[in-house]
Amino acid sequence: MSTHIRVNFECPCCGENFLPFDDSQRLCPKCGNVASEVIVPIAKIVSAAKENIAFGVFSILSLADMYIDNAIDIILFAGYPQRTSISQEEAELICHEVISGRDFSNSEHQRAHATAFVMAVLKEAFLKKA
């Protein structure tokens, strides 16, 4: 069975949809309002992503699922499951490739949040020992 996290979140000030996934990312990318808490921790997103990679099919049902779907792409792009650890330098290179391949033309304000997310996923999935 695929693993979903049925959580949606929007900034109470500006309505921007984003997911505070760790303490450094509680700031709304659009207006800078600080969310009161981490809504879904990165460890939960990455473990759901790995479960869904093993399962093979995934559909997006919520904002948190969008982050999971994104994490799946990032983890596969970095070579999982053949590769299970990468160096900090490789993580930075992979992050650069992922981010430079995205179009932020209508959402430049999301670039920093997206970059932090890619690095957090790579750290959680590959730099930590299981």
Would you call the peptide bond into 81 cis, given omega within 30 degrees of 0 as the criterion? Answer: yes
Give Rg (Cα) of the chain: 14
Q: How many CB atoms lie within 10 A of CB 68?
A: 29
**Which residue, 21 or 126, is less far from Zn ion as judged by CB?**
21
Cα→Cα distances 80→54, 75, 76, 89, Å:
11, 6, 5, 17
Binding positions for Zn ion, rule: CB under 5 A: 11, 13-14, 16, 28, 30-31, 33
Q: What's the min distance (Å) between Cβ of 28 and Zn ion?
A: 3
Q: What's the min distance (Å) between Cβ of 16 and Zn ion?
A: 4
**Which residue, 35 or 61, is less far from Zn ion as judged by CB?**
35
**Which residue, 11 or 64, is less far from Zn ion as judged by CB?**
11
